[in-house]
Structure 1
Amino acid sequence: MNTKYSDLIDQTYYFPQEEFKLQDTHLKFHGIDLMGLVEEYGVPLKFTYLPKISDNIGRAKDWFRKAIEKLDYKGSYNYCYCTKSSHFEHVLNEALKNDIHIETSSAFDINIVEKLKESGKITEDNWIICNGFKRDQYISNISKLINTGHKKCIPIIDNYEELDLLSEKIEGKFEVGIRIASEEEPKFEFYTSRLGIGYKNIVPFYKQQIQENEQVSLRMLHFFINTGIRDTAYYWNELNKCLKVYINLKRICPNLDSLNIGGGFPIKNSLAFDYDYAYMVEEIVNQIQLACEEAEVDVPHIFTEFGSFTVGESGGAIYEVLYQKQQNDREKWNMINSSFITTLPDTWAISKKFVMLAINRWNDEYERVLLGGLTCDSDDYYNSEQNTNAIYLPKFKKEKPLYIGFFNTGAYQETIGGFGGLQHCLIPQPKHILIDRNTEGEITTKLFSTQQDAGEMLNILGYN
């Protein structure tokens, strides 16, 4: 009988995969000895594998380059990193090695941009695309950036008041974009995105506030789909509506030359993940070109703002199963030595699934379990894997420690979880490891942050 955990994975998925391989009974991730990490640093721990950031940027650039060459597309392609996915310096440092641009979401993002300019990692040649709802501090920071000479900074107008607020602060001429308030997916709780300006209102807005305004010129139209870039009738319909707006604007606005395709690529959330990135890129470029040719207008330069796709697949978390609780005839709870709510908040906030695999004991028999976190909150659990609708792990044995890994967790989890601050039920934040490769290709590790201790939390709470 095939009762081993390795048999289960082999029967359920194509395995091994590019990033996941087995060495004896232990899992390796991009060649990283995960049990070695456990033995050196202990658990729980989180890690960031920096080379994956550059790898994904390179892949996307290559897909667009090939599509543009194949279709003889006359516009250029510009890769932007959406900083809200992860603001950490080590992430930005790695991403900026790859000739990319930056998309910001709030006031303090601009302070990060200024720091990166001081260190020479961002120059006047980098586009800074400023999204989000803008009020005093964000407006001031954007204006300061432009006033000090960064002309490749484009505020994306989100509402009718922002243009006047920017005009009051910015000295001289500047360029803007306009964000389209796209219609949400039919199953969404409301009809139209709260962000941006409605399809029908964009041309009138341009005519009233920009067309005769000598201080401002329109450079970019911004199109964002909350569900990301997916091969669905909904996505293609929204893209075509966006292109109609672009064409109508282009006919009356010669300065308009760029289209920002917001919404990112999906990332791997299961070993059964299947997505044809190259096809999607080619079809997007093709649809833009066909619409513009039919309307007899110049094609736009294409911008994308990939956040999760840039950094998501670089992250992981490793836990130990501390104990198993048999709560009834069917439910076995494996208790981890941390909390899902605090370390992987998307698992409970939006029921997001990550790739989850045992780190060790792949030759042991498996069992069906539920995973529980340490907080005294009924929502602190993880109970199903994508495509299998259950969790199977090597059988719990008190004398044989079991370690489990969650992978592709690098986007949003630290900022949503409140890195460095209070954690639910005061469960400490795990240590965080940075993993890189040296010039010889050898794996290197560095401790980025230690596990929180009681003193740090008591200090935040005012006890020290």
Structure 2
Amino acid sequence: MNTKYFDLINQTFYFPQEEFTLNKDNLQFHNIDLMKIVEQYGTPLKFTYLPQISNNINRAKGWFRKAMEKNKYDAKYYYCYCTKSSHFSFIMNEAFKNNIHIETSSAFDIDIVENLMAEGKINKNTYVVCNGFKREQYIDNIARLINNGHNKTIPVIDNYEELDLLQEKIDGKFKIGIRIAAEEEPKFEFYTSRLGIGYKNIVPFYRKQIEENKNVELKMLHFFINTGIRDTAYYWNELLKCMKVYVALKKECPTLDSLNIGGGFPIKNSLAFEYDYQYMIDEIINQIKISCEEAEVDVPNIFTEFGSFTVGESGGAIYQVLYQKQQNDREKWNMIDSSFITTLPDTWAINKRFVMLAINRWNDTYERVLLGGLTCDSDDYYNSEQNMNAVYLPKYNKEKPLYIGFFNTGAYQETIGGFGGLHHCLIPQPKHILIDRDENGILATEVFSEQQSAEQVLSILGYEKK
């Protein structure tokens, strides 16, 4: 009988995989012995494996390079990191080892850009693409960056008012982009993205506010689909509509030379994940080239803004199963030593799936369970693994502690759940460690932040220590 947890995983998925292997009956992630990490640092625990950030950046660069060579595409590719996925300094420091560029979405992002410049992490050759709806502080910060001589800053116009606001604050000539307000999938509750300017309005906007404006140089058209870059009729249709706008605009605006196709590469959310990145990039480059050749205009430089793809697969969380509650004849609840709502908010807010695996006891028999968090909220649970929409784990045994890991959690979870501060039911924020390798591949770990203390929480709440 194949009753071991290993048997279940092995017969359900291709296993082992590139990043997931076994050492006896313990899980390894990128050859990291996770049980040793647990023994050293305890649980609950967040971790970031820094080398995976550089790995994904260079994978994408390689795919685009091959696609441009294959299609004889005579323009450049620029990889931008989308800061909103994770603003932490350790993320930025690793990402900007790889000669990339940066995309911002709010006012404080510019302060981060200036900090990176002061530390020499980025320089005057780094493009700063400023997205988002821009109000006074964001406008002021963008203007400061440009007025201080960073002429590769490109504010992307999101609405008709922004250009005038920027001109009031910026001294002399500056570059801009325009964001297309893409039409959403039919299943959406609205027809058109709230971000950007409608397809039909972009050329008239250029003629009215930019064409005769000697202080503004239009360089970029920005295109982003909310559902991400996927091989669907919807995506290809929106890309072709975007190219019609680009071609029409290029014929009237010779300075336009770049197309920003945004972000949206998916990341692994299951051991069954499949996605042909190279095919998608080949086809995108091919479609853009065909559109330009038919219209007899030069192909644009390509910008991307990958956020989740850059950092998502570097992150993980490890919990201990504290106790099992048999609530009826069918439902067993494994209670973890933290909260899903506060540490992995996407599992609660948008039913997002992450790769979830046992860390130890792979040679034990398994059972079907539900996973519950520590808060007193009925929504603090996780039960959505890919195999039959259930969670299977080694059987609970109070004499043999069980640890479970959630992987590829590196994007958005800290900013959405809130790093520091207050959390639901005052469940403390877990310890967070950084995992790196030196030039010889030797593993090194350090604590980025300790588990939140009661004193820190009470101080935020205004309780004075007696």
**C-alpha displacement at 1:389, in angstroms?**
1.1
The equivalent of 1:344 in structure 2 is: 344
| 1:200-279 matched pairs, under 5 angstroms | 200-279=200-279
Secondary structure at the residue paired with 1:251? Answer: helix
Aligned to 1:129: 129
SS in structure 2 at match of 1:72: coil
Q: CA offset at residue 185 of structure 1?
A: 1.1
1:296 corresponds to which letter in structure 2? E
Partner of 2:14: 14
Equivalent residue number for residue 79 of structure 1:
79
Matched with 2:311 is: 311
Residue 63 of structure 1 aligns with which residue?
63
Corresponding position of 2:431: 431
Counterpart secondary structure, 1:388: helix
What corresponds to 2:94 in structure 1? Answer: 94
Q: Give the aligned residue type for 1:217.
A: E
Question: Which position in structure 2 is the counterpart of 1:441?
Answer: 441
Q: Is the 8 A contact 1:227 1:263 kept in 2?
A: no
Are the aligned partners of 1:258 and 1:301 in contact in 2 as well (CA < 8 Å)? Answer: yes
* Partner SS state of residue 222, structure 2: strand
Answering whether residue 320 of structure 2 is matched by residue 320 of structure 1, we say yes
Other structure's SS at 2:329 match: coil
Partner secondary structure for residue 447 of structure 1: strand
For structure 1, the 5+ residue unaligned runs are none
Aligned match of 2:34: 34
What is the aligned partner in structure 2 of residue 45 from structure 1?
45
Structure 1 residues 343-373: Cα deviation after superposition (integer angstroms, max 9, x where no partner): 0000010000000000000000000000000
Match of 1:114 in 2: 114
1:29-62 Cα offsets, whole Å, 9 max, x none, are 0011100000000000000000000000000000
**Which amino acid in the other structure matches residue 327 of structure 2?**
Q
Provide the residue aligned with 1:422 in structure 2.
422
Read off the aligned partner of 1:421 and give its amino acid letter: G
> TM-score under structure 1 normalisation?
1.00
Q: Whole-Å Cα distance in 1 between the matches of residues 62 and 50 of structure 2?
A: 19
Q: Structure 2: how far apart are the matches of 1:463 and 1:187?
A: 48
Q: Give 3-state SS (helix, strand or coil) of 2:456's partner.
A: helix
1:170-227 per-residue CA deviation (whole Å, 9 max, x = no partner) reads 0000010000000011111111000000000001111100001111011000001111
Distance in 1 between the 2:379 and 2:210 partners? Answer: 49
2:382 equivalent in structure 1: 382
Match of 1:367 in 2: 367
The letter of the residue matching 1:340 is F
Question: In 1, Cα distance between the equivalents of 2:61 and 2:384?
Answer: 34
Once residues 49 and 189 of structure 1 are traced to their aligned partners in structure 2, the CA distance between those partners, rounded to angstroms, is 37
8 Å CA contact retained: 1:272, 1:387: no
- Specify the SS of the correspondent of 1:448: strand
Distance 2:181 2:209 in 1: 18
Query: Aligned partners of 1:421, 1:62: CA distance in 2, in Å?
Result: 40
CA deviations over 1:222-259 (Å, ceiling 9, x no partner): 00111110000000000000000000000000000000
Distance 1:358 1:270 in 2: 14
* 2:264 alignment partner, SS class: coil
Alignment check: 8 A CA contact 1:84 1:412 kept: yes
Deviation at 1:387, TM superposition (A): 4.3
CA contact (8 A) 1:21 1:27 kept: yes
- For 1:288 and 1:323, how far apart are their aligned partners in 2? 55
What secondary structure does 1:167 align onto? helix
User: C-alpha offsets along residues 93-152 of structure 1, whole Å, 9 cap, x if unaligned?
Assistant: 000000000000000000000000000101000000000000000000000000000000
Are 2:142 and 1:150 aligned? no
Classify the secondary structure of the residue corresponding to 1:267. coil
CA distance in 2: counterparts of 1:74 and 1:439, whole angstroms: 35
Q: How do 1:152-171 residues align onto structure 2 when only pairs under 5 Å count?
A: 152-171=152-171
Asked if 1:393 corresponds to 2:388, the answer is: no
2:292 is aligned to 292
Q: Distance in 1 between matches of 2:388 and 2:253?
A: 52
The Cα shift of 1:388 comes to 3.1
Contact 1:270 1:387 in 2 (8 A): no
Cα deviation for residue 162 of structure 1 reads 0.2
Q: What do residues 50-77 of structure 1 show as CA deviations (whole Å, max 9, x unaligned)?
A: 0000000000000000011111101110
Matching residue's letter, 2:5: Y
Task: Count residues with an aligned counterpart.
Answer: 464
Q: Name segments (4+ residues, structure 1) moved above 4 Å.
A: none
Instruction: Provide the C-alpha distance between the structure 2 equivalents of 1:253 and 1:387, rounded to a whole number of angstroms.
Output: 52
5+ residue gaps, structure 2: none
Q: Taking every aligned residue pair, what percent have the same amino acid on both sides? A: 78
SS of the residue corresponding to residue 172 of structure 2 reads coil
Report the 3-state secondary structure (helix = DSSP H, G, I; strand = E; otherwise coil) of the residue aligned with 1:35: helix
Is it true that 1:191 corresponds to 2:191 in the alignment? Answer: yes
- Residue identity matched to 2:175: E
CA distance in structure 2 between the partners assigned to 1:437 and 1:101 by the alignment: 24
Asked if the contact 1:336–1:371 (Cα under 8 Å) also holds between the matched residues in 2, the reply is yes
Aligned counterparts of 2:385 and 2:16: Cα–Cα separation in 1: 18
How far is 1:267 from its partner? 0.1
Q: Which letter does structure 2 place at the counterpart of 1:244?
A: K
Backbone CA RMSD of aligned residues = 0.5
Structure 2 equivalent of residue 330 of structure 1: 330
CA distance in 1, matches of 2:460, 2:180: 41
Counterpart-to-counterpart distance in 1, 2:140 and 2:449? 32
Q: Is the 8 A contact 1:14 1:271 kept in 2?
A: yes
Please state whether the residue corresponding to 1:9 is helix, strand or coil. helix
- How far apart are the structure 1 equivalents of 2:227 and 2:403? 33
Q: Distance in 2 between matches of 1:390 and 1:221?
A: 44
- 1:263 is displaced (CA, Å) by 2.8
Name the CA distance, whole Å, in 2 between partners of 1:250 and 1:387: 49
TM-aligned CA deviation for residue 439 of structure 1? 1.4
- In the other structure, the counterpart of 2:355 is 355
